[in-house]
Amino acid sequence: MTGVWEIVKIHECREAGLSKAATANRLSKDRGTVAKYWDGTKLPLQKPTYQRPTKIDPYKEYIIARLEKW
């Protein structure tokens, strides 16, 4: 997986005037990966996380109330 720092390094190499192939060789990445992030339009986004309800959710208030009473 290509992290944010690798993408930053790809952009730095581009700004330094290196070609995509030279950047791929320097960073030990595939030329396709370098080409993918060369323009900066495709940045990896974190997938949204989904919180599934647990089995105890309907009983939480009751349990907390009983613990406070105790």
Domain residue limits, the chain: 1-44
User: What digits encode the pLDDT tens for the residues 3-49?
Assistant: 788 888 998 999 999 999 999 999 999 999 898 888 876 666 667 78
Which band of pLDDT confidence, cut at 50, 70 and 90, is reported for residue 59?
very high
**pTM, full prediction:** 0.57
DSSP string, the chain: ---HHHHHHHHHHHHHT--HHHHHHHHT--HHHHHHHSSS-----PPPP--PPPTTGGGHHHHHHHHHH-
Residue 53 reports pLDDT greater than 80: yes
